[in-house]
Structure 1
């Protein structure tokens, strides 16, 4: 859990640094190109404002779907069904909902939402699934009740759909950002792909970590049991002795 916290702080700091430095680099490059008329300056100011809003929208979406949601899943898997793990999952999920809501509000207020691209359509469906899963989470039945298995199946399916659509929406958002601003997204795509790959590997690894530890304990402390060959060998000798005596 300490390693996961350090990883989270590192990802947040790195993302904030990239998020803050990138607009400064772009603005310095545009400043070197020279000025223009007063109308051009107003257009540049509006472009800077729109670019900042798009970046902030993307950062909120990444923090919600690309970071908090996967970290919440890892937290509850690593807690081995303890109460603190469930509370951490709820905390991460509520923060994810708040950030996704803020990103959706920014989109409706500041962007042209004609829903003519994949990012907007996937985002609308994703936003609905997020709140649907939250509502289903509030009506969780008690363990052992009849509706528990149905609730668990629905909750798991919605959670899987939200995670996959969230990752897909980040990729489509990067593509929409490239089409809107004509700026390169290769670096951001590589960074996000590396993050998703690492979290997927960590998820699969920690799922088997308890089993690996258990195997090490068994090999280190349990006495060596005789194999089938060692057990059958004296019996074979007895059979041979009986046949020889006959």
Structure 2
């Protein structure tokens, strides 16, 4: 009886454990299978050809708008500010307006694509910088449209704000292109080395051209006034030294002292000259 009671108890405990624990184990395994299936489906969705093409088009649009058109627009208005006036200033100003308008439109298209097709969790630097740039670009566009006329007291403040904001947007936009290339590599596992090199070459060329503008007038002046030969420079230096020596006061010699005295007496006599007496 004791053995049979022991066996009965063991059988009962085993049965209860099977009844209560098996559903939990099955539910847990079923949940893991569902979560794994969902993650696999999400990864397939992220790396699908359609999603890859969306990311590529989005990156190309933002590259053209923020990496090319905006910097070129800044260069054109900088060239216009160096001109004194005339038709060339108007042409450069209109080119600046056209480039910046196209850049804003393309940025808007890229923003719509990202909102419609991508998961915007804003958990990385690329998405956060992109959101800030979308807002700043439209602010810059409105500031450019509602500019005060020349001669207005607010013109200087407007110009400073427009210049600083435009420069910051262009620099941060280029940085965000690099972060976008990195994000594209992480999502698609495709190499972006060639695109990074091309972007760096383009940015370097624009930066050199920007610096070249400041030195262009100085280069032209150097070409129009060539340096003098070394012999001619020596002659000019010697002549200047001789002229300086001639201009220095010289001490009067003894033979000139009497002459100077008679000259001073003659001047005094001429000042106090008596009227002539008629005969």
TM tier, smaller: 0.7 to 0.9
Which residue in 1 is equivalent to 2:75? Answer: 74
Shift of 1:125: 0.2
2:146 pairs, out of 109, 125, 139, with 139
Which residue in 1 is equivalent to 2:66? Answer: 65
1:1-246 equivalence runs, <5 A: 47-79=48-80, 80-81=82-83, 82-219=89-226, 230-236=239-245, 242=250
- Distance between the aligned counterparts of 2:62 and 2:202, measured in 1? 15
Shift of 1:229: 5.2
What TM-score do the two structures reach when normalised by structure 1?
0.74
Shift of 1:95: 0.3
Which residue in 1 is equivalent to 2:23? Answer: none
- Distance between the aligned counterparts of 1:47 and 1:238, measured in 2? 90
- Distance between the aligned counterparts of 1:235 and 1:147, measured in 2? 53
- Distance between the aligned counterparts of 1:239 and 1:69, measured in 2? 62
- Distance change >3 Å, CA 143–CA 197, structure 1 → 2: same
- Distance between the aligned counterparts of 1:111 and 1:67, measured in 2? 24
- Distance between the aligned counterparts of 1:48 and 1:116, measured in 2? 24
- Distance between the aligned counterparts of 2:77 and 2:149, measured in 1? 18
- Distance between the aligned counterparts of 1:235 and 1:45, measured in 2? 84
Deviations 1:15-54 (A, max 9, x none): xxxxxxxxxxxxxxxxxxxxxxxxx9xx599711111110
Q: Which runs of 5+ in 1 are unaligned?
A: 1-39
What is the aligned residue count?
A: 201
What TM-score do the two structures reach when normalised by structure 2?
0.65
Shift of 1:235: 3.7
Q: Which runs of 5+ in 2 are unaligned?
A: 1-40, 84-88, 255-279
- Distance between the aligned counterparts of 2:239 and 2:130, measured in 1? 64
Deviations 1:125-178 (A, max 9, x none): 001000000001111111121001110111011101111111111011011111
Which residue in 2 is equivalent to 1:28? Answer: none
Which residue in 2 is equivalent to 1:15? Answer: none
- Distance between the aligned counterparts of 1:160 and 1:55, measured in 2? 26
Q: What root-mean-square deviation, in Å, do the aligned CA atoms of Structure 1 and Structure 2 show?
A: 2.7
- Distance change >3 Å, CA 164–CA 235, structure 1 → 2: closer
Q: 2:148, 2:155 within 8 Å by CA — same for their partners in 1?
A: yes
Q: 1:77, 1:207 within 8 Å by CA — same for their partners in 2?
A: no
Where has structure 1 moved over 3 Å in runs of 4 or more?
Answer: 43-46, 224-229, 237-240, 242-246
Shift of 1:228: 6.1
Deviations 1:81-103 (A, max 9, x none): 51111110000000000111111
